[in-house]
Amino acid sequence: MNGPKYLLDTNIILYILGGNETLANHLHQKSLYASFVSEIELLSFGRLTAREEKNIKEFLQQFRIIDIDQSIKQEAISLRKTYNLKLPDCIIAATAITLQLTLITADKQYRQIENLHLELVEF
């Protein structure tokens, strides 16, 4: 697909799973990526039913899930030292920076990161 390639933050995936049609329509027909961190966060909620877990796994199949590699690791270390963010947030931001993806998130803390292509969603 042509056009922007989006890395979805975990909160955006949760909004879509929760039924946010506006957001789902905005991302329809786009190249979508997710970090392995988001996959872990989504599937490790303590009170997931078997059906909810199945729905999340099926939903994530439409994304390219990005695992960590050495370049993402190094960028995450640099971001953590510079911005003192939580490690999962550093990994997600590092993934977007390293792969030149636009991070779509509702988390305003990402605005402070230089060199991060960001689309901030406000509700």
pLDDT in tens, 13-28: 999 999 999 999 999 8
Residue-number span of the structural domain to which 110 is assigned? 5-120
- CATH code, domain carrying 106: 3.40.50.1010
- DSSP alpha helix (H) spans, 1-123: 10-17, 21-27, 36-43, 50-60, 70-83, 87-99
pLDDT for position 3:
77
User: What is the pTM for the complete model shown?
Assistant: 0.94
Tell me what pLDDT residue 123 has.
76
- The total number of structural domains that make up the chain: 1
Q: pLDDT of 70-109, one tens digit each?
A: 999 999 999 999 999 999 999 999 999 999 999 999 999 9
